Homo-oligomer: A and B are copies of this chain.
């Protein structure tokens, strides 16, 4: 999972760096592991990469770096892979007398086969990233930009939202299924591309913010934007963007995210059959659902768990044992709020179950009488092939245990997930969404 960004200054103003950093920072929630930024000044592409947050990597860009086109990428921690600079995007090359670079959000499911085939043809890969497969197809294609985009898209059909630099052109490209969101902001001064509309709106600089359509390519140059429909397919919007990944103030796949999450909480409340004293969100992921749930149920919302937001990189802990400790470094229970209460504990989703289990343990240690786990999405039974970073199938608790098994594992008094049918209702256009992680 990741966030991507592109900026094009129409009048060749050269101060693109502060703007691209602001946009990246606005997408920081989409990836905290690594950042890569490419700045094009009309002749050179300067690329800066680093592990860590945007604010940390930004410090490595020398003060005198200027350019009028930029593309950038912020990467989520990928399960099982060591943090390394080698795979940080953009991927780039100086080829046939111009720079080509790609920043990619999504995942290409069968990239290893593509790679093997390309290597046999003599292609040399410099990273392990799936993105480089698309990069090779695009670079090796013949013809003008549009023609080359078509050839690459015909080879790799999913899942990607991309920002591409090709010479003096900036390109936005989204696969025909539309798995990942992609937005454009336009003003008289510039054109910007970002994974979420909220990042663009936050700048207050665009008179116009709209979505790149699935299967569409936008080619930006000094004359403006040209739009091309490359290919058309049924939609496969990633419902997990609404449930967890996107910023609450974004509007993704036509849904306002905070209100979507609040609605899932309300739907959960309507089927409540237990006595609940207080509603406690798992901060921050369960906040919106908990507000909806508490409102619909007419029970008080209480911040029975306080979240420490100062979790720096050096405290990030990879193993399961350490993940348990991390819960206690990040979430602080308040005994005076919890003691003797029957609690609805609301979260957006459960993946491995290890974090939830530890939270339950914490609440019990601090006096909770009953704990009713309420999850604002269905059980996750499959890992995602299209770009959401999830553990292997055998690490997903809902693929291993039935509901009662999960209840016992978490040690809660009751557990309820949002039924898939209710999620269908929440998204309105069921056929346009991908529910593969929920087994549908």
A interface residues (Cβ-Cβ under 8 A, vs B): 22, 25-26, 28-29, 32, 53-56, 58-59, 93-96, 116, 119-126, 128, 135-136, 139-140, 198, 202, 204, 247-249, 251, 256, 258-259, 284, 287-288, 291, 295, 300-303, 306, 308-315, 328-329, 332-334, 336-337
B249 lies within 8 A of A332 (CB)? yes
Among A22, A135, A308, max chain B CB count under 10 A is at A308
Contact A259 B303 (CB under 8 A): no
The 11 sampled A-B contact pairs (Cβ below 8 Å) are A53-B312, A56-B312, A58-B312, A95-B119, A96-B119, A96-B120, A122-B136, A122-B139, A202-B329, A258-B334, A301-B301
Q: Which of B136, B295, B308 is A26 in contact with, Cβ under 8 Å?
A: B308
Q: Are B122 and A124 in contact (CB under 8 A)?
A: no
CB distance from A64 to the nearest CB of B (A): 11
- Alpha-carbon distance between A116 and B284 when the two chains are bound, in angstroms: 51
A435 to chain B, nearest CB (A): 24
In the bound complex, residues from chain B placing their C-beta under 8 Å from that of A336 are 251, 256, 258-259
Residues of the B chain whose Cβ atoms lie less than 8 Å from the Cβ of A96: 116, 119-120
**Cβ–Cβ < 8 Å partners of A119 in chain B:** 95-96
Q: 10 extra interchain contacts, Cβ-Cβ under 8 A, other than A58-B314, A94-B128?
A: A25-B310, A54-B312, A93-B124, A123-B123, A248-B332, A259-B334, A259-B337, A284-B309, A291-B303, A295-B300
- Complex Cα spacing A202 to B326, Å: 11
Task: Determine whether the beta carbon of A94 is less than 8 Å from that of B26.
Answer: no
CB neighbours of A198 from chain B (8 A): 332
Given contacts A22-B329, A336-B259, contact A310 B29 (CB under 8 A): yes
Once the chains bind, are A310 and B126 in contact (CB under 8 Å)?
A: no
List the B side residues contacting A328 at CB < 8 Å.
202, 204
Q: Is the CB of A95 within 8 A of B334?
A: no
In whole angstroms, how far apart are the Cα atoms of A29 and B314 in the complex?
Answer: 17
Q: Give Cα A332–Cα B247 distance, bound, in whole angstroms.
A: 10
Contact A287 to B310, CB < 8 A, known contacts A93-B125, A126-B93, A329-B22: no
Q: A123-B122, A248-B334 are in contact. Are A329 and B288 (CB under 8 A)?
A: no
Docked Cα-Cα span, A308 to B288, in Å, equals 15
Q: Are B28 and A308 in contact (CB under 8 A)?
A: yes
- Asked if B315 and A55 sit within 8 Å, CB to CB, the answer is yes
Closest to A139 in B: B124
Is B312 touching A287 in the complex (CB atoms < 8 A)?
A: no
- In Å, the complex CA distance between A28 and B32 comes to 20
